[in-house]
Structure 1
């Protein structure tokens, strides 16, 4: 039996925390006097009130959160955050409809970075900061944060961390799950602050630096400028973004090990070595054709190539150049990067390198098994044997991911959009990237889609952010069947 009252208390605590995170945006709105202070303050009060009612109504309930409650809490929490997170947009002067507000909010929380705002620089600064904050909240996962503080509320959190943790594995930094979550957030917050300082040194205003720091470490890609980071011509800013996008796409446990001097554990990670190697190979391999087709200088062409490769692979979605303007072949290469994803345990979306690595390693070993059918040929990652259960899970994930991409692209195309746009919109939504190809290229946005398609793509974003199974399992009879 599912403990719905225990879930209610957790949901209440989440909403109260979510409401408090709206207040910094209200502070910026008040400082810049952009007319959105009331919208953000009222949204915070509404959200906090609902959260308080839910939390205190179930405050005496048994907090025994098992696996099923964990998956249900994660899925429902993202739904509730999406509902309450869109209130500032609806109360502001942006004239958002319901579908627009849902799309922008879910795009933020899932760190997709797709937007329907045509003139970002004309939007109120408080709302833009809230837009960036939604990505920072969703970056590492608000569940990981609340796992760290829920013990103070008498709520356990191990099942929440398992359900939220991105990728097929979730390495612990500490035997206690609360300490793990705290240390992950220390790394997350520290890197965010450092990125903000460097952006400010590079020439951004304080406001722009804070916003871009939030969305860089979240691998979200929301910008305060219409042209994204192409607005800033400083190579220092571009290279700073590249470095922090790479860090944000790295497994945070690997970063933690590096910061604590455990470099042997860093280099032991097969995924990390593959991730860095692929980024370098792609950047170097694509630079020559970009230099040829763009006619730019060597440094600028290399910087743009490296930037776009890192931005797409880490699913950040920042833009410094229109990669669809070079050549159709290069456009398809950049489109394929939407299916990469960075490391498991990072803030990026997508399939993740660990799954690609396991798939290709297992496929290669299959040839050896064919030649030597009686030999035991195990798949190993980081020197450890990967169980058949995990291999099956990865293969199922890849197949379901491909099926969802195909079926969803057909659905979008049936709504009247061309194939390139349909493929691009679904691929970038499912991978939580942002820009794609067709009418949703790096210089475009999603404002032209009809309300149904916006809501449909929003659902696809949620599926991708929670790695398919967390949501899809709720639609199976096994989940709801009593123990």
Structure 2
């Protein structure tokens, strides 16, 4: 399939997705009307207009007779996320006069649920744009690609390929379209419940809505420059913990509860691992803060629970700055950010499922070393025996992704050191920021600011993009553009 035929094959599907997003992104205009921010109507109104016009034009492209291959579907995903970040930056450029790079950074951070920000003053930003940031994260949490599943149109390879590319390979219902509708219903219900829970802390409806939207999406944007510490509210922090964990749980569990009235959290290995890791992280961070920094016990408990949860769920909220922590504690949190939440959740990172599969692979490998070559050692995953040829392929793919994660962090860290030579930051803090961006976490030591070099900003933009799609779709896009999509 040459490049022209490839573009023709995926253009109508991309157009359909963009038009659907265009309709949904009209919602922030209601906020502009409620708060009478008339000057924001044009900047915010440009977003749905661009989406709908561009999407309509792409839908007019004639579709070739040949069906698009999986590589085309994966490349289309990468393009959709990039286009969404570019279009999403328009309100910041037109409404705030922010530089183009900073605006694309802000929008990419929103759509990818990262939570890093280059806004010069969050408190002075119009509420319409603050809601737009939260709304981007809320939409990005369920996945732009999920829009294709919610469309009652053809469900061929392109749509299934788009859905699979975000790591949501666990189809918990036979119909892809039905899965999409169920996901959205569940997501909206959980969001409303989260808003109600956060309201119990005493914050306003405006704050509760924005915090709940970004917490369930494991995004991390807030509506104040100080972030969570602005509220000085321990109750709020404790109430946000279950919301962050809920966003990092596999969504198939919510479907079982919603459809079968079956509580299945403790029967899922990822859910158990997520809760266990949260507990371990809480203990390690809290003890480090007590014994290495002399922090008060209650402060250590408060920071340990909140930060460990924000780290493993890739939410990005923080009630303190890791900049003040010992390097060993910072590096420990880096491990949590690398792991991330569950597959089939809104979280980023490598995903707990990959870690579990990696550990099972190591056990399988060691068992095969200590037995005769004639002995067949079965590979078991999820309580089932997997055929050897399938197991070897899946194990290889899993380890390849893990290696690519570490290799990307290593290379980008070296690049940032060169771009920001002389910056007063420790090596552990730079690594922390790279991992936070790549794993779509958002917790920051203060390294990411509007004062960063232009090169570093674009590096972080691409890191957030790469991390959200777990590398493969973007690699496919680049290779396809260079060599074709055969």
TM above 0.5: yes
| 1:333-482 paired onto structure 2 within 5 Å | 333-374=332-373, 375-386=375-386, 387-417=391-421, 418=423, 419-437=427-445, 439-440=446-447, 445-476=448-479, 481=484
Higher mean alpha-carbon deviation, 236-245 vs 57-66, is at 57-66
Whether the aligned pair in 1 keeps the contact of 2:142 and 2:346 (CA below 8 Å) is yes
What is the match of residue 305 of structure 1?
304
Mapped to 1, the partners of 2:133 and 2:160 lie a distance apart of 25
1:71 to partner: Cα distance = 1.1
Whether the aligned pair in 2 keeps the contact of 1:110 and 1:135 (CA below 8 Å) is yes
Mapped to 1, the partners of 2:58 and 2:131 lie a distance apart of 27
1:136 to partner: Cα distance = 1.1
Higher mean alpha-carbon deviation, 361-370 vs 273-282, is at 361-370
Mapped to 2, the partners of 1:380 and 1:186 lie a distance apart of 34
Gaps of at least 5 residues in structure 1 are none
Whether the aligned pair in 2 keeps the contact of 1:294 and 1:301 (CA below 8 Å) is no
1:26 to partner: Cα distance = 2.0
Whether the aligned pair in 1 keeps the contact of 2:32 and 2:128 (CA below 8 Å) is yes
Whether the aligned pair in 1 keeps the contact of 2:360 and 2:381 (CA below 8 Å) is no
What is the match of residue 116 of structure 2?
114
Mapped to 2, the partners of 1:87 and 1:72 lie a distance apart of 24
1:61 to partner: Cα distance = 7.2
Equivalent residue for 1:28, pick from 27, 31, 51:
31
Mapped to 2, the partners of 1:475 and 1:166 lie a distance apart of 15
TM-score by length of 1: 0.90
What is the match of residue 221 of structure 1?
220
Whether the aligned pair in 1 keeps the contact of 2:274 and 2:312 (CA below 8 Å) is no
Deviations 1:247-268 (A, max 9, x none): 1101111232244457585434
Whether the aligned pair in 1 keeps the contact of 2:81 and 2:144 (CA below 8 Å) is no
Gaps of at least 5 residues in structure 2 are none
Equivalent residue for 1:10, pick from 9, 13, 18:
13
Q: Is 2:54 the partner of 1:54?
A: no
Mapped to 2, the partners of 1:363 and 1:257 lie a distance apart of 31
Mapped to 2, the partners of 1:4 and 1:167 lie a distance apart of 21
Whether the aligned pair in 1 keeps the contact of 2:71 and 2:476 (CA below 8 Å) is no
| 1:260-339 paired onto structure 2 within 5 Å | 260=259, 266-292=265-291, 298-339=297-338
User: SS of 2:123's equivalent?
Assistant: helix
What is the match of residue 207 of structure 1?
206
Higher mean alpha-carbon deviation, 64-73 vs 254-263, is at 254-263
| 1:39-118 paired onto structure 2 within 5 Å | 39-55=43-59, 57-58=60-61, 64-92=67-95, 94-118=96-120
Whether the aligned pair in 2 keeps the contact of 1:65 and 1:156 (CA below 8 Å) is no
User: SS of 1:117's equivalent?
Assistant: coil
Equivalent residue for 1:138, pick from 127, 134, 140:
140
Deviations 1:337-392 (A, max 9, x none): 22111111111111111111111222233332222143333332210235211100
1:131 to partner: Cα distance = 1.0
Mapped to 2, the partners of 1:60 and 1:404 lie a distance apart of 36
User: SS of 1:121's equivalent?
Assistant: coil
Higher mean alpha-carbon deviation, 308-317 vs 258-267, is at 258-267
The 1:291/1:380 distance shift into structure 2, 3 A limit, reads same
1:129 to partner: Cα distance = 0.8
1:455 to partner: Cα distance = 1.4
1:232 to partner: Cα distance = 2.2
What is the match of residue 184 of structure 1?
183
1:158 to partner: Cα distance = 5.3
Higher mean alpha-carbon deviation, 414-423 vs 362-371, is at 414-423
User: SS of 1:331's equivalent?
Assistant: helix
Mapped to 1, the partners of 2:31 and 2:319 lie a distance apart of 27
Deviations 1:283-318 (A, max 9, x none): 123323324456555444323211100101111100
User: SS of 2:317's equivalent?
Assistant: coil
The 1:230/1:62 distance shift into structure 2, 3 A limit, reads farther
The 1:31/1:295 distance shift into structure 2, 3 A limit, reads farther
Cα RMSD of the aligned pairs, angstroms, is 2.5
1:167 to partner: Cα distance = 6.5
Mapped to 1, the partners of 2:256 and 2:184 lie a distance apart of 14
Mapped to 2, the partners of 1:333 and 1:159 lie a distance apart of 39
Higher mean alpha-carbon deviation, 95-104 vs 2-11, is at 2-11
1:201 to partner: Cα distance = 3.2
Whether the aligned pair in 1 keeps the contact of 2:220 and 2:316 (CA below 8 Å) is yes
TM-score by length of 2: 0.90
The 1:133/1:257 distance shift into structure 2, 3 A limit, reads same
User: SS of 1:385's equivalent?
Assistant: strand
The 1:479/1:243 distance shift into structure 2, 3 A limit, reads farther
The 1:156/1:368 distance shift into structure 2, 3 A limit, reads closer
The 1:169/1:112 distance shift into structure 2, 3 A limit, reads closer
1:51 to partner: Cα distance = 2.3
Mapped to 2, the partners of 1:7 and 1:421 lie a distance apart of 41
The 1:33/1:358 distance shift into structure 2, 3 A limit, reads same
